[in-house]
Amino acid sequence: MSIREIPLIIDGKKVQSKSEQWLDVLNPATQEVVARVPMATKEEVAAAVASAQKAFKTWSKVSITNRMRIMFKLQQLIREHTLELAELVTLEHGKTLPDAEGEVGRALEAIENACSITRLQMGEMSNNAATGVDVYTLNKPLGVGVGITAFNFPLMLAAFMFPPAIACGNTFILKPSEQDPSSTIRMVELALEAGVPAGVLNVVHGGPDVVNQLIEANEVKAVSFIGSTPVGTHIYNHAAKHGKRAQCMMGAKNHMVIMPDANKDRAINDLLGSAFGAAGQRCMANPVTILVGETRHWLPEIAERAKQMKVGPGTQRDADLGPVVSPQAKARIIKLLDSGVEQGATLLVDGRHCEVEGYPNGNFVGPTMFTNVKTDMDIYTQEIFGPALCVLEVDTLDQAIEIINANDNGNGTSIFTSSGWVARKFENDIDVGQIGINVPIPVPVAFFSFTGSRASKLGDLGPNGSQVVRFWTQTKSVTARWFEPDHQDGSEVHTTISLK
């Protein structure tokens, strides 16, 4: 079997990198090498920046309707290639095919939001703000943008970035994760097929050196990042140092509260899906549940149903969760799970020694549950990013809210209840950016903005919705006054407008 070499995309063309440093892309279910990805050279990164800067001069002047039509064509092509894209995600990331197809759907939502650009990019106007004076705003593109994505959603995260950026008239350089780049590259190829002109959308690969070079480039005006907290903090600070606009969506420790009046079966189903789906590798997973009052008696059933979840390669459609992305990720997860035992938590379900028949080399970790968890334990304070669930038990809703608000992160939280009063109290008292009410993973649909908060986010504006357009544009305010021409020669003023 030949090993694919992942290209760069510069100036509308696939480019074979001249880099001497290449990394293997592995199938996490088998450890088979399925592709090789280059760490782009300084010259290649500079070429991508130059291409984007050159293209901006013309692309920024393309009519907003024509930019929108390309977005419509892109969403059509993504829809037509759903299975192909999902299979690439499963091959390199490991998530199950149904989960990968769901990711394609989420990417489509973000692209469809970019199809609303004719409305979203409109400015404001006040006629006769003062006598004979009009004031209005223009939402103008910034220039060259950069997007840096994590491995866990190679399609969705890219769709959060480049479609709205280029729909607003910017040009773009995407740096996807080197762990699973093939689906991202295919998505960009479809964007070019949809009509994105040469230079408007470029792709480079690499590590910290490539990221720093992109941020430091004078032509780059804004940087979007979604990934881990340490990397995001560096990117945000480095971008600020170099005068760049930045948004960084980062780590999380989301909590799901279950009240005694919740629909038991639905609450447990949604808890297990949100804690263990995608093998826990999503920033909006629910790795902590807080059982309030009598719901502590549901623990045996929750544990039994967790044990029944099927672990297998992502290609098995009946698998509930696939492998984690890499041996290194598995080792880190196991180390954290071991620390939970060492620090005194009760291991109710143990997935540390998970084996899948026929896949002895896979990075499999089974569903794992801890009870008697304290908030100073590593399994609570750190983002495990694996199929692990910490269970806390409290007597009242106020105690649950206090625990959540004391956590540094504010990406998302949810509550399961049949009481409107309880739900309303929760949404008003909780200090978290995204709230689910009987919804386990409260990522809003893409025509609303992603609004994580506190340590989960750096920057004022998030992806999607109206905020993403504000991020990728610069508002110009115009104050205008026009005077009647002074015809001192006595000639008539002709105001007829030709419609030819």
- Give the catalytic positions in this structure: 283
C-alpha 171: how far from chain center: 19
Give how far Cα 306 sits from Cα of 207, 340, 351, Å: 37, 18, 10
What gap in Å lies between CA 273 and CA 19, rounded to an integer?
41
C-alpha 265: how far from chain center: 30
- What torsion do the CA atoms of 208, 85, 121, 462 make, to the nearest 10 degrees? -50
Q: Are strands 457-458 and 245-249 parallel, antiparallel or unpaired?
A: antiparallel
The answer to whether 253 touches 380, Cβ cutoff 8 Å, is: yes
Q: Which of 303, 262, 269 is nearest to 286 (CA)?
A: 269
Give how far Cα 214 sits from Cα of 94, 160, 173, 220, 252, Å: 29, 19, 9, 7, 26
Q: For the chain, what is the radius of gyration of the CA atoms?
A: 25
The answer to whether 160 touches 226, Cβ cutoff 8 Å, is: yes
Tally of CA atoms within 13 A in the half-sphere of 193 that contains its CB:
13
The answer to whether 144 touches 171, Cβ cutoff 8 Å, is: yes
Tokens of 404: 């959540």
The answer to whether 207 touches 179, Cβ cutoff 8 Å, is: no
Helix runs in 121-245, H state only:
156-167, 182-194, 208-216, 229-241
What gap in Å lies between CA 312 and CA 305, rounded to an integer?
17
* The one-letter amino acid at 317: R
The answer to whether 411 touches 419, Cβ cutoff 8 Å, is: no
